[in-house]
Structure 1
Amino acid sequence: MVRRYVVAPHGGRRAHPDISSALRAAAERHGPALIEIAPGHYEESLTVRGEVELTGMGGPGSVLVSPPQGSVLDAFGTVRVRGLLLVGREADVVDCLGGTLALEHTEVRAHGGVCVHARRGTRVALTDSVFRYGRTLFAGAAGTVERCGFHDAADNALAVIEGARVSVRDSRFEGSRIHGVRVSDAWTELVGCALTGTEKAAVMADTRAELTMSGCRVDSVHAEAVMFIEQSRGLVRDLRVSDAEHGIGVASGADPVVRDCVFADCRDTGINVQTTGRGTFESCEVLNAGSVSVFSTNGGAPRVNGCRVAGGNVGVAVVDKARGHFTDVVIEDLAGSALRVFDESRAVFERTRVERCPAGLEVRGNGATTAQLTDVRIAGFDMAAVAVTGEARVTLTRVSAEHGLLGFGVGEEAFLQIQDCEVSATRAGGAVAFGRARLVARNLTVTGSEAFGLCGTESAYVDVADSRFDDCAAAGVTFDESGGGRLVNCSVTGTRGVGVQHNGRVDLVSLHTSRPVVERVPEPAPAPVQVVNNHYHGPVFNAAVHGVHLAWNNDRITQEIIQQDAPQATAQATPRATPQVVQQVIQEHDDQNGATP
Structure 2
Amino acid sequence: MARNILVSTTQRGAYPTIEDALRAVDAEAVITVAPGEYPATLTIHGGKITIRAADGPGTVVLDNRSTEHALLRTDGTTLVLTDLTLRSAGPVVVLEESTLTMDRCELEGGLGAGLAALDGSRVEVQRSRFIGGTNALVFDDSGGNVVNTEVRDAADDGIIVRVGGNPEIRNSTVRGCGHRGIYVYQSGRPTIEGCEVSQTTDTGISVVGSAPTIRNCSIRDTQGPGIAISAGSQGSVEGCTTANTGEPAIDVAEGAATRIIAGQQGPGHAAGVREEPSEQDSGRVESLLGELDEMVGLAGVKEEVRSVIDEIQVNEWRRAAGLGTGAVSYHLIFAGAPGTGKTSVARIYGKLLAALGVLRRGRFREVSRRDMVGQYIGHTAEKTAALISEALGGVLFIDEAYTLSRAAGAGGNDFGQEAIDMLVKMMEDHRHELVVVVAGYTKEMSEFLDANPGLASRFNKTIEFENYDSPELVLIMRRMAATDDYTLGEDVEAALHEWFAKIDRGPNFGNAREARKLFEAMRKAQSQRLRGLGRMPTVDELRTLVVADVPAL
Give the number of the structure with larger relative contact order, counting CA–CA contacts within 8 Å between residues 6 or more apart.
2
Higher strand residue share: 1
Higher helix residue share: 2
